[in-house]
Amino acid sequence: MIKPTVGRVVWYHPGADDRDGAMNQAPMNVLDLAQPFAAHVVFVHDDRTVNLIVTDHKGWQWVRESVQLLQDDDEPNVGEAYAAWMPYQKGQAEKVGGARRDARESAVERIGGGFKTVEDLVRAADVLARYIETGEMPAQHGEGVKA
């Protein structure tokens, strides 16, 4: 999943209301349904809902609020507008995710010492981070102990 942030560019796929005009608005200028519009994220509600400034095929700009942002294998609602990451962004996210997985596996191999899985190492790193931040180490049964 790619975390949306203000300023990111996404593709906007207009819905039926955008193409036909709705709620006393003129229709967006759609020259080719196969080509999405460019859009900028201006507010993030959550990982799957954003507000956008959308530029249509003739350069007109439109505000769209609470737009569904597809993540991973999400499917759009039929007839409704939605935003999606560009293929390049998805490819970059996959490369970064793959590199992180490779680094974690390499760290497990190098550290060894009882870590059988990446999850074991991550749990140990979380305990260490908590100790650094708070000075507390979990006791045998999960209780915090001041160092």
pLDDT for 101: 62
Which pLDDT tens digit goes with each residue over 6-22?
999 999 999 988 888 77
pLDDT at residue 141 in the model = 47
Taking only the tens place, the pLDDT of each residue in 23-77 is 667 889 999 989 999 999 999 999 999 999 999 999 999 999 999 999 988 999 9
Dump pLDDT digits (tens) for 65-111: 999 999 988 999 998 999 999 998 988 888 876 666 666 666 656 65
d(CA 64, CA 60): 13
**Tens of pLDDT, residues 118-138:** 777 777 777 777 777 777 766
